[in-house]
Amino acid sequence: MIVRDAPRAIDLIFAIRGSILPRIAPRLLALMVFAALMVWLDRRTDILPEAGALGFTVFGIALSLFLGFRNNAAYDRWWEARKLWGGLLADMRSLAREAEVFVRDDALRLSLLRTARAFLHLHRANLRRRPDDALARSHAGALADAPHPPDAALDAMAALVKRGAAGGTIDSFGQRALAERLGSMALQQAGCERIATTPLPYVYSLLIYRTTWLFCLLLPLALVGPAGWLTPLFVGIVGYVFFGLAEVTEELSHPFGETPNGLPLDAICRAAEISLAQHLGEEAPEPLEPKDYFLS
Amino acid sequence: MIVRDAPRAIDLIFAIRGSILPRIAPRLLALMVFAALMVWLDRRTDILPEAGALGFTVFGIALSLFLGFRNNAAYDRWWEARKLWGGLLADMRSLAREAEVFVRDDALRLSLLRTARAFLHLHRANLRRRPDDALARSHAGALADAPHPPDAALDAMAALVKRGAAGGTIDSFGQRALAERLGSMALQQAGCERIATTPLPYVYSLLIYRTTWLFCLLLPLALVGPAGWLTPLFVGIVGYVFFGLAEVTEELSHPFGETPNGLPLDAICRAAEISLAQHLGEEAPEPLEPKDYFLS
Amino acid sequence: MIVRDAPRAIDLIFAIRGSILPRIAPRLLALMVFAALMVWLDRRTDILPEAGALGFTVFGIALSLFLGFRNNAAYDRWWEARKLWGGLLADMRSLAREAEVFVRDDALRLSLLRTARAFLHLHRANLRRRPDDALARSHAGALADAPHPPDAALDAMAALVKRGAAGGTIDSFGQRALAERLGSMALQQAGCERIATTPLPYVYSLLIYRTTWLFCLLLPLALVGPAGWLTPLFVGIVGYVFFGLAEVTEELSHPFGETPNGLPLDAICRAAEISLAQHLGEEAPEPLEPKDYFLS
Amino acid sequence: MIVRDAPRAIDLIFAIRGSILPRIAPRLLALMVFAALMVWLDRRTDILPEAGALGFTVFGIALSLFLGFRNNAAYDRWWEARKLWGGLLADMRSLAREAEVFVRDDALRLSLLRTARAFLHLHRANLRRRPDDALARSHAGALADAPHPPDAALDAMAALVKRGAAGGTIDSFGQRALAERLGSMALQQAGCERIATTPLPYVYSLLIYRTTWLFCLLLPLALVGPAGWLTPLFVGIVGYVFFGLAEVTEELSHPFGETPNGLPLDAICRAAEISLAQHLGEEAPEPLEPKDYFLS
Amino acid sequence: MIVRDAPRAIDLIFAIRGSILPRIAPRLLALMVFAALMVWLDRRTDILPEAGALGFTVFGIALSLFLGFRNNAAYDRWWEARKLWGGLLADMRSLAREAEVFVRDDALRLSLLRTARAFLHLHRANLRRRPDDALARSHAGALADAPHPPDAALDAMAALVKRGAAGGTIDSFGQRALAERLGSMALQQAGCERIATTPLPYVYSLLIYRTTWLFCLLLPLALVGPAGWLTPLFVGIVGYVFFGLAEVTEELSHPFGETPNGLPLDAICRAAEISLAQHLGEEAPEPLEPKDYFLS
Residues 6+ apart with CB under 8 A from A126: A148, A149, A150, A193
| Interval E60-98: pLDDT, tens | 888 888 889 999 999 999 999 999 999 999 999 999 999
C158 and D274 in contact by Cβ < 8 A?
no
pLDDT for E289: 93
A264 — pLDDT class (breaks 50, 70, 90): very high
Q: If you average pLDDT over residues A149-168, what whole number do you get?
A: 96
Residue C137 lies in a domain: yes
Q: What is the predicted pLDDT for the residue at B14?
A: 73
Q: How far is CA D90 from the centre of its chain?
A: 20
Pick the residue from chain D with its C-alpha nearest to C27: D9
In this prediction, residue D132 carries a pLDDT of: 87
Count the Cβ atoms, other than its own, within 10 Å of residue E16: 9
The answer to whether the CB atoms of E206 and A19 lie below 8 A apart is yes
CB spacing of B55 vs C275 below 8 angstroms: no
Q: What percent of chain B has pLDDT over 70?
A: 99
Distance CA C23, CA C29 (A): 11
- Residue E11: is its pLDDT beyond 90? no
State yes or no: pLDDT of D51 exceeds 70. Answer: no
How far from the centroid of its chain's Cα atoms is residue A116's Cα?
Answer: 23
In the predicted structure, residue B166 carries a pLDDT above the cut 80 = yes
Q: Check whether D56 has a pLDDT greater than 70.
A: yes
Is pLDDT above 70 for E51? no
CB spacing of A213 vs B260 below 8 angstroms: no
* Residue-level pLDDT at D8: 74
Q: Closest Cα partner for B264 from B274, B254, B255? A: B255
Most confidently modeled of B219-228, E37-46, E127-136? E127-136
Which of the residue ranges C54-58, D82-86, E22-26 would you say has the lowest mean pLDDT?
C54-58
Mean pLDDT for chain A overall: 91
Choose the closest CB to E18 out of D50, D190, D202: D202
Rounded to the nearest integer, the mean pLDDT of chain B is: 91
Beta carbons of D276 and D258 less than 8 angstroms apart = no
In a domain, A248, yes or no: yes
Count of domains observed in chain C: 1
| A vs B: CB pairs below 8 A | 186
Let me know if residue E16 belongs to a domain.
no
With respect to residue D262, please indicate whether it lies within any of the assigned structural domains. Answer: yes
Cα A5 to Cα D86, E195, E251, E253, distances in angstroms: 42, 15, 12, 12
- Can you give the pLDDT at residue A45? 84
Residue E281 pLDDT exceeds 90:
yes
User: Model confidence over E89-118: pLDDT tens digits?
Assistant: 999 999 999 999 999 999 999 999 999 999
Chains that touch E (3 or more CB pairs under 8 A): A, D
Asked whether the beta carbons of residue B211 and residue C241 sit closer than 8 angstroms, the reply is: yes
The Cα D22–Cα B123 span in angstroms is 57
Confidence at E206, pLDDT banded by 50, 70, 90: confident
DSSP string, B85-125: HHHHHHHHHHHHHHHHHHB--HHHHHHHHHHHHHHHHHHHH
pLDDT tens sequence across B6-64: 777 777 777 777 788 888 999 999 999 999 999 999 888 877 776 667 778 878 888 88
d(CA E284, nearest CA chain A) in Å = 31
Lowest mean pLDDT, pick from A252-266, E99-113, E210-224? E210-224
Are E70 and E249 in contact, with CB atoms under 8 Å apart?
yes
pLDDT for residue B219 is more than 70: yes
Q: Can you tell me the mean pLDDT for A213-235?
A: 86
Residue B268 CA, distance from chain mean position = 13
Nearest CA in chain B to A48: B230
Considering the domain boundaries, does residue A153 fall inside one? yes
The answer to whether C269 and C120 have CB atoms below 8 angstroms apart is: yes
Structure confidence at residue D36 (pLDDT): 94
CB-CB contact of A89 with E154 (8 Å): no
* Average model confidence (pLDDT) across chain C: 91
In degrees and rounded to multiples of 5, residue D132 shows phi and psi of -110, 25
pLDDT in tens, C213-270: 999 998 888 888 777 888 898 889 889 989 999 998 999 999 999 888 899 999 999 9
**Residue D20 falls within a domain, yes or no?**
no
For the ranges D46-55, D167-176, D221-230, which has the lowest average pLDDT? D46-55
Q: What is the pLDDT of residue D205?
A: 86
Q: How far is A87 from chain E (nearest CA, A)?
A: 6
b/e burial code for range E81-106 (CB count within 10 A of at least 16 → b): bbbbbbbbbbbbbbbbbbbbbbbbbe
Instruction: Give the pLDDT score at B51.
Output: 66
Predicted local distance difference test score (pLDDT) of residue D52:
67
Instruction: Give the side-chain half-sphere CA count within 13 A for A235.
Output: 31
Is residue D5 assigned to a domain? Answer: no
**Which amino acid type is present at position C149?**
P
Contact B248 A207 (CB under 8 A): yes
Spell E232-263 as b/e; 16+ CB within 10 A means b.
bbbbbbbbbbbbbbbbbbbbbbbbbbeebbbb
For chain A, the residue count is: 296
Q: CA–CA separation, A144 vs B251, rounded Å? A: 39
Which of B8, B231, B241 is most worth mutating to test chain A (most A CB atoms within 10 A of its CB)? B241
Task: Report helix, strand or coil for E4.
Answer: coil
- If you ran DSSP here, which 8-state letter would residue A246 be given? H
Domain with B257, as residue range(s), is: 21-43+69-280
Q: What's residue A91's pLDDT? A: 98
Q: Are A31 and A240 in contact (CB under 8 A)?
A: no
Segment E177-191 shows an average pLDDT of: 97
Instruction: Flag if B12 and A210 touch (Cβ within 8 Å).
Output: yes
Q: In angstroms, rounded to a whole number, what is the distance separating the alpha carbons of residues E45 and E52?
A: 19
Task: List CB contacts (< 8 A) between E127 and chain A.
Answer: none
Q: How many CA atoms lie within 13 A of D251 on its CB side?
A: 22
Helix-helix angle C149-167:C106-127, to 10 degrees? 170
Report residue A222's pLDDT band, with 50, 70 and 90 as the boundaries.
confident
* Cβ contact D260–C63 (<8 Å): no
Share of chain A above pLDDT 90, in %: 66
Q: DSSP string spanning A3-32?
A: ---SPPHHHHHH--TT-SHHHHHHHHHHHH
Please tell me which chains touch B, using 3 or more CB pairs under 8 Å as the contact test: A, C
For B50-99, how does the pLDDT look when each residue is reduced to its tens digit (9 = 90+)?
Answer: 666 777 887 888 888 888 999 999 999 999 999 999 999 999 999 999 99
- Residue D165 has its nearest CB partner, among E18, E19, E101, at E101
CB A246 within 8 A of CB A208: yes
Return the pLDDT at E168.
95
Number of H helices, E strands in chain B: 10, 0
pLDDT at residue A85 is higher than 70: yes
Write down the pLDDT at residue A51.
66
pLDDT of E52 reads 67
**How would you write B150-169 as a 3-class SS string?**
HHHHHHHHHHHHHHHHHHCC
Closest CA to E20 of E239, E255, E236, E240: E240
Cβ–Cβ below 8 Å for C179 and D244: no
**Cβ contacts (< 8 Å) between A201 and chain B: which residues?**
1-2, 75, 78, 248, 252, 261
Residue C91: pLDDT band (50, 70, 90) is: very high
Q: What percent of chain C has pLDDT over 90?
A: 67
Q: Label residue D75 by pLDDT band (50, 70, 90).
A: very high
Q: Which residues of C touch B54 (CB under 8 A)?
A: 53, 56-57, 222-223, 226
Residue among E136, E167, E165 nearest E152 (CA):
E136
Three-class SS of residue A105? Answer: coil
SS3 assignment for chain C? CECCCCCCHHHHHHCCCCCCHHHHHHHHHHHHHHHHHHHHHHHHCCCCCCCCHHHHHHHHHHHHHHHHHHHHHHHHHHHHHHHHHHHHHHHHHHHHHHHHHHECCHHHHHHHHHHHHHHHHHHHHHHCCCCCCHHHHHHHHHHHHCCCHHHHHHHHHHHHHHHHHHHCCECHHHHHHHHHHHHHHHHHHHHHHHHHHCCCCHHHHHHHHHHHHHHHHHHHHHHHHHHHHHHHHHHHHHHHHHHHHHHHHHHHCCCCCCCCCCCCHHHHHHHHHHHHHHHHCCCCCCCCCCECCECC
- Give tens-digit pLDDT for A171-210: 999 999 999 999 999 999 999 999 999 999 988 888 888 8
What's the rounded Cα separation, in Å, for the pair D90 and C66? Answer: 33
| Distance (Å, whole) CA E278 – CA C208 | 51
Q: How far is CA A129 from CA A124, A136, A257, B62, in A?
A: 8, 12, 9, 44
Report CA Rg, chain E.
26
Cβ of D66 within 8 Å of Cβ of E68? The answer is: yes
User: Does any domain span residue D62?
Assistant: yes
pLDDT per residue over D91-137, tens digit each?
Answer: 999 999 999 999 999 999 999 999 999 999 999 999 999 988 999 99
pLDDT (tens digit, 9 = 90+) per residue, A25-46? 999 999 999 999 999 998 888 7
DSSP letters of chain D?
Answer: -B---SPPHHHHHH--TT-SHHHHHHHHHHHHHHHHHHHHHHHH-S------HHHHHHHHHHHHHHHHHHHHHHHHHHHHHHHHHHHHHHHHHHHHHHHHHH---HHHHHHHHHHHHHHHHHHHHHHTT-TT-HHHHHHHGGGGGSSSHHHHHHHHHHHHHHHHHHHTSS-HHHHHHHHHHHHHHHHHHHHHHHHHHSPSPHHHHHHHHHHHHHHHHHHHHHHHHHHGGGHHHHHHHHHHHHHHHHHHHHHHTSTTSSSTTS--HHHHHHHHHHHHHHHHT-PPPPPP--BTTB--
A4 vs E162: CB contact, 8 Å cut-off? no
| Averaged pLDDT of chain E | 91
Per-residue CA distances from D73 to A268, D199, D248, D255 (Å) = 32, 11, 12, 12
